[in-house]
Structure 1
Amino acid sequence: MHTEKNVFDNIFNTVMDFKGKTKDGLAARKDMTIWCDRPEHSVDLEYQGREVPKAVYQVTEAQKAAILQWLVSLKFPDGYCSNLSRCVDMNKLTTTASMKTHDAHVIMQRLLPIALKEMLPEHVWSCLTEISLLFQSICSSVLDAASLQRLQESVPILMCNLEKIMPPSFFDAMEHLIIHLPYEALTAGPVFYRWMYRFERFLGELKKKVTNKAHVQASICQAYLQQEISTFSSFYFERDVITRRKRPARNDDIGEDLYENVVSIFNYPGRGKGAATQRYILGRELQIAHTYILMNCPEILPFYHEFRASLSAFPENEIDAMVDSDFVNWYKYQINSREIVDPLLVALSWGPCASAKVWRSYVINGYTYHTSAYGQGRPTTNSGLCVPTIGYDNSESNFFGVLHEILELEMPCGLQKLTCVLFRCKWVDPTRGVRKNSKFNMIDVNHSRVYEKNEPFLLAQQAAQIYYAEYPSTRRTQNPWVCACTVRPNKIISQTQHKDVDLDAFQQQFFQPPPIVETINYNIQLSNPIGGRVEVMPETHLPDLTIPSEREIVEMYEAQQNAQYQEEGEWIDGSDTE
């Protein structure tokens, strides 16, 4: 946590050339003149001025203003990070003390590669992006030991590449600690069990309890005792009494028993925010919604395969068109002709009611979604969507889009009411409008290249939230490509709550394999002012690391305890000896 913050400060302040914060200066350039063979960065050793030539790792004043203005204009999903516009001083073109450690965490891992994409040369940007991905990889909630081992072998090469770019004064103890981070993650496990965010938040809560600065400890103790007493008393209140303990979280869906009423894809836990309005879905729009519901019900899958098999003589594109236009009527005819009495299958044949509820905001799976119109003028953006799909030819692709409308449809099923929430989206063409940088795991989206097929609907529980970040640039023409960034939900959903419901979980940010770090082709010759050649230290290889399992750890602990009991003259079972 603190290593990441300090490394970010060194990189960002040096690249942005903030006065009084940068690691670059006249003394650093004189060191480069003495130690490094970099004529473009060298200065006269007798020079006593203040201005030094711009380095390859620094941005110009116009680029600096563009990056800071970009930080001010960025919008993030609800609860993603703080308002970065309060961390920037556009008058002085610098950052303020309002930038906290978590802000540096977000910028370092998510925004730094986007901000410097069009501002720095390729070899400088790629090196800084690899450092960003290094922190992103070791901060994942799920780690892969083999990938961490490869990352540990690549970190020295990464630091050598950084040494070929930055001045010698840039490197301090913080940059040296990067070497040990993969080994630490490999030995100690995921970082969120060890970093200091939760402890510093708790210390912040204790500071808020101080009302008498003359007696700080007593003030904290008194406020803490009052909180404990009120919390204990709240357990004896009636259920309808709302207390701090019972108050639903901001991104809570419904309650604890989330999946008791789930029937197929219906009655999925979620709640709308604000007041809902009513509107009617008629004609072609209702047929498209009905077809989409049928296509996503696992109970309808045998009928769907049967319908496609009956059309095997037609080309694939014609089959898709016939599914969109004729599958609903064919399925209804099959239910009536076969005299099927299953209530769910019969209700699906009749389809949803034409009257639908329309929400401006909806909470589901720990995400808070807003329509694009409702998000206009708000400081946050919650309308970005992504859904992974598998085509008929087993090809995988991601659909990226923007949420335009939230519809809650009702489907009568005997005495039971089935509800289904659909998102109406504007999709980007997955072939022409999406490009991926496989090396750095970056996905760009072009919203001007719209998906041509009329398939606007998406089940709310299938969506994963993303946000789109533009690339800052000093060009007059705006770049139509924006970077799509994933978002973790604000509520952790336990897999045990899903029971028999087979749904994709997007709440975990799994380990992304780091890119293969290669030595950059940047011709830097090191010179020794004392004389002679610069010797390279031989490579050292760490021994293979094996992480003991939980059972092995318990066995080692029991063996240690038994040995301690024997030394103290006690039996292994804990009984005293006579």
Structure 2
Amino acid sequence: MLSLLISGPNQPGNDIDVYLQPLIEDLQKLWHGKQVYDAFKKESFILRGILLWTISDYPALGNLSGNIIKGYNACVVCVDKTKATRLATYKKTVVMRHRRWLPRNHPYRRQKSAFDNTMEKLSEPIPLTGEEVLERVLPLADHVYGKTQNQPRWKKGEPRPIWKKMSIFFQLEYWKFFPVRHTLDVMHIEKNICEALTGTLLNIPGKTKDRESVRINMAEMGIRMELRPKNSGKKRRYSINGHSATCWNEISRLSYNVASLAPHRTSVSTSKTGQVHYYQVLPFFKAICSKVIEVDKLEKMQSQLVETLCQLEKHFPPSLFDVMIHLSVHLVREVELCGPIFLRWMYPFERYMKTFKGYVQNRAHPEGCIAEAYIAEEAVECLVNFEEPTVGLSGRDKNKEKYRPLSGATMIKPSIKDLHQAHLCFLQNSNELTPYFNEHMAFLVARYPLHENDEEWLKNKQNETFPNWFQKKISSELLDVKSMVSKEVMWLAEGPNKHVPTFSGYKVNGVTYSTKDRDDTRQVQCSGVCVHADTMLVQDKDKNIEHISHTFYGVITSIWELDYNHFRVPIFRCNWVDMNKGVKIDDLGYTVVNLHKLGFLNDPFVLGKHVKQVCYIDDPLEKFWSVVLKLPNKFDDQSDDENEGSVEIELENEVDVTMFPTVDEVEEENSSYMREEEEMIQLP
């Protein structure tokens, strides 16, 4: 089976069925059942197995299913009802006409010039059942495998072929009864759609779909004639429409670094016709890839996606709509039939392929390298996990893996004030010390009766005096023979070592954190953090105290390890953003922060286990402001292994924005999608 993993000119391709024959035989045996022994119940039973669907990228899907995935019948769901269009000058086939999925009375169906100059009267195609597919591919059952075999070619005038062969999976008795036999690759569909939109919006050379040849095809189709190329002397020039040129200066300044421009800011940077596209497409993929999906919302998601695709057809060139854009219209159907996407996408397999590639030491024989390394790793893991302790092999300490430094230590002797703040931060977050804090507060109220109702003064006084009071309290309790003070409390009362090791990088619960100085010298950002905590808010006018729960944003400036002699605690010192002057919600509902507006100078420390990593992306519209991107913790102990491929990035405080503008039923046929000011580009 290793030959299936090695791509190249000699890869199996459509002849993959030859390699899959042993697998099909095993699946047939599992379908009829095998007698196995249950060691727990001490009895035998019949074990049966079934293959629900295959998981692969789109080219491999074509090899497994036998479908033709290029040309006029490129969609494996619509097959001969794909209704593709050939752009002669652009020399590519595109799949448009997504108005077929709209309701019959939708105004978009009647608009001509905004789309392909035709009214849409057809309804959405009904996918073929497995039995119907089997009936159509039966004539191909005698397909001859082999790269040297002469395959029949399509002749002009004949119906265009849909399948190249009959899939070997139809040898399984139950295969024809499944509505979905080969799942679509959401990972690459999302990637290709975002790359196409970004490349066109920012007019990235080599990535943009807005080209001169496409403009010529648009003129031949009779749509958006104002965008056709214009002859001017020896050079041909044409006007750039609103969805490419506005961002040209910005992207040039960023050296084509698309990641430096926030996705939601891309829509703001472009003209009005391109504002809604990006933040219409991305929330769809975020919703459809969620671990929990409400079934009653799937119909609304599908209708919103179809309208989004129609909006794209109105404002973007036809070259944007390759088969990957079209396949997105079938994703909701797969969710209805197969369940959540994260259980059947390509992320785990792509990551495992990366592991296999790391095994290759001799590129002339990659299969042998992978086989030897896999067997060696399996043997070592068996010894580590199941055998007695062996010389040279020791089991992994998961607790040490949760908290470990990623750089060498630098010893410092902080000021008494800084050490007091760090020690107090750990004490306040120790559940075992809660009774002592309550007792100390009662002591302060009794000692300072004049400030009995001044909660702010009492809190500041407790922060100032609690460590010394706590140390004396534990010392007095230890004099009592019947004292039940635990060792941990004793160590905490003694306080940390005055010499503190600091690090530039630290791993906490599998997440890598770095200081701001270290991030400035690297290409990645690991210093942004946020913490959700309760705080005490004092009203300026009447001095009333209000307890609120809020999310605080900051940047790690240093990483300490507090040494309590018997254990160490990682603690981060951060520059926190002022919640009043440095945090706001923009018009689209996203959180933006000003990292130069600092606050909470008397409380800079936070425990490493309490923070959540965030990423700050510079806002191209407002200087000194950054958009907050929240990164989910993929290494949580409760996470499943199947979910480790998730790379979801969540925009902070995302609101449920209106997905689509109101559709005007009397929209003008000749509405223009160009910017008000005309910008011309010379082409040779």
Q: Name the counterpart of 1:431.
A: 580
**Separation in 2, partners of 1:175, 1:469:** 27
Structure 1 counterpart of 2:592, one-letter code: D
The alpha-carbon distance between structure 1 residues 401 and 514, as it changes in their structure 2 partners (threshold 3 A), is same
1:35-66 CA-to-partner distances (Å, cap 9, x unmatched) read 89968x44489999742212111134423312
Say yes or no: does 1:518 pair with 2:660. Answer: yes
Structure 1 counterpart of 2:512, one-letter code: T
Pairwise CA RMSD of aligned residues? 4.2
Helix, strand or coil for the counterpart of 1:157?
Answer: helix
In the alignment, is the contact (CA less than 8 A) between 2:267 and 2:277 conserved in 1?
A: no
1:109-147 CA-to-partner distances (Å, cap 9, x unmatched) read xx4334x15521356233312212222333345545455
Query: Percent identity at matched positions?
Result: 24
**Separation in 2, partners of 1:286, 1:21:** 53
Helix, strand or coil for the counterpart of 1:391?
Answer: strand
Q: Name the counterpart of 1:255.
A: 397
Say yes or no: does 1:342 pair with 2:528. Answer: no
Say yes or no: does 1:279 pair with 2:412. Answer: yes
**Separation in 1, partners of 2:471, 2:319:** 75
Structure 1 counterpart of 2:556, one-letter code: L
Deviation at 1:285, TM superposition (A): 1.7
The alpha-carbon distance between structure 1 residues 374 and 15, as it changes in their structure 2 partners (threshold 3 A), is closer
In the alignment, is the contact (CA less than 8 A) between 1:37 and 1:526 conserved in 2?
A: no
**Separation in 1, partners of 2:669, 2:314:** 13
1:367-411 CA-to-partner distances (Å, cap 9, x unmatched) read 112222233322323211111112354523211111111111122
1:75-134 CA-to-partner distances (Å, cap 9, x unmatched) read xxxxxxxxxxxxxxxxxxxxxxxxxxxxxxxx9xxx4334x1552135623331221222
Helix, strand or coil for the counterpart of 1:287?
Answer: helix
Structure 2 counterpart of 1:407, one-letter code: W
The alpha-carbon distance between structure 1 residues 283 and 468, as it changes in their structure 2 partners (threshold 3 A), is same
1:73-152 counterparts in 2 under 5 A?
A: 111-114=262-265, 116=266, 119-121=269-271, 124-145=274-295, 148=298, 150-152=300-302
Report the more deviating stretch, 359-368 or 193-202. 193-202
In the alignment, is the contact (CA less than 8 A) between 1:4 and 1:135 conserved in 2?
A: yes
Structure 2 counterpart of 1:345, one-letter code: V
Deviation at 1:31, TM superposition (A): 7.0
The alpha-carbon distance between structure 1 residues 200 and 347, as it changes in their structure 2 partners (threshold 3 A), is closer
The alpha-carbon distance between structure 1 residues 350 and 198, as it changes in their structure 2 partners (threshold 3 A), is closer
Say yes or no: does 1:162 pair with 2:312. Answer: yes
1:214-229 counterparts in 2 under 5 A?
A: 219-229=365-375
Q: Name the counterpart of 1:192.
A: 342
Say yes or no: does 1:241 pair with 2:392. Answer: yes
In the alignment, is the contact (CA less than 8 A) between 1:134 and 1:514 conserved in 2?
A: no
In the alignment, is the contact (CA less than 8 A) between 2:286 and 2:648 conserved in 1?
A: no
Deviation at 1:495, TM superposition (A): 6.5
Helix, strand or coil for the counterpart of 1:408?
Answer: strand
The alpha-carbon distance between structure 1 residues 524 and 458, as it changes in their structure 2 partners (threshold 3 A), is farther
**Separation in 2, partners of 1:67, 1:125:** 20
**Separation in 2, partners of 1:325, 1:204:** 53
Q: Name the counterpart of 1:8.
A: 194
Q: Name the counterpart of 1:544.
A: none
The alpha-carbon distance between structure 1 residues 513 and 13, as it changes in their structure 2 partners (threshold 3 A), is same
The alpha-carbon distance between structure 1 residues 242 and 21, as it changes in their structure 2 partners (threshold 3 A), is same
**Separation in 1, partners of 2:222, 2:433:** 70
**Separation in 2, partners of 1:335, 1:145:** 57
1:517-536 counterparts in 2 under 5 A?
A: 517-519=659-661, 525=667, 527=669
**Separation in 2, partners of 1:269, 1:141:** 25
In the alignment, is the contact (CA less than 8 A) between 1:430 and 1:451 conserved in 2?
A: yes
The alpha-carbon distance between structure 1 residues 161 and 308, as it changes in their structure 2 partners (threshold 3 A), is farther
Say yes or no: does 1:404 pair with 2:543. Answer: no
Structure 2 counterpart of 1:443, one-letter code: T
Q: Name the counterpart of 1:314.
A: 453
Instruction: Please report the TM-score for the alignment, with normalisation by the length of structure 2.
Output: 0.57
Task: Pick 1 or 2: higher relative contact order, CA cutoff 8 A, min separation 6.
Answer: 1
Report the more deviating stretch, 50-59 or 343-352. 343-352
Structure 1 counterpart of 2:281, one-letter code: I
Deviation at 1:325, TM superposition (A): 1.8
Q: How many residues align?
A: 451
**Separation in 2, partners of 1:34, 1:221:** 52
1:336-378 CA-to-partner distances (Å, cap 9, x unmatched) read 6666641333443332232222222211111112222233322
In the alignment, is the contact (CA less than 8 A) between 1:268 and 1:420 conserved in 2?
A: no
Unaligned runs of 5+ residues in structure 1 are: 75-106, 214-218, 247-253, 259-266, 497-505, 529-578
Instruction: Please report the TM-score for the alignment, with normalisation by the length of structure 1.
Output: 0.66
1:14-93 counterparts in 2 under 5 A?
A: 14-18=200-204, 21-25=207-211, 28-29=214-215, 41-43=226-228, 50-60=236-246, 61-71=248-258
Unaligned runs of 5+ residues in structure 2 are: 1-186, 446-450, 537-545, 641-645, 671-684
Deviation at 1:282, TM superposition (A): 4.0
1:7-58 CA-to-partner distances (Å, cap 9, x unmatched) read 223312322334565333456557767989968x444899997422121111
Q: Name the counterpart of 2:615.
A: 467
Q: Name the counterpart of 2:497.
A: 353
The alpha-carbon distance between structure 1 residues 55 and 317, as it changes in their structure 2 partners (threshold 3 A), is farther
Say yes or no: does 1:180 pair with 2:333. Answer: no
Picking from 270, 274, 298, the partner of 2:431 is 298
Helix, strand or coil for the counterpart of 1:56?
Answer: coil
**Separation in 2, partners of 1:354, 1:206:** 48
In the alignment, is the contact (CA less than 8 A) between 1:23 and 1:170 conserved in 2?
A: yes
**Separation in 2, partners of 1:409, 1:517:** 49
**Separation in 2, partners of 1:431, 1:154:** 37
**Separation in 2, partners of 1:193, 1:271:** 31
The structure number with the bigger radius of gyration is 2
Report the more deviating stretch, 453-462 or 57-66. 57-66
**Separation in 2, partners of 1:185, 1:68:** 39
Q: Name the counterpart of 2:624.
A: 480
Deviation at 1:172, TM superposition (A): 4.2
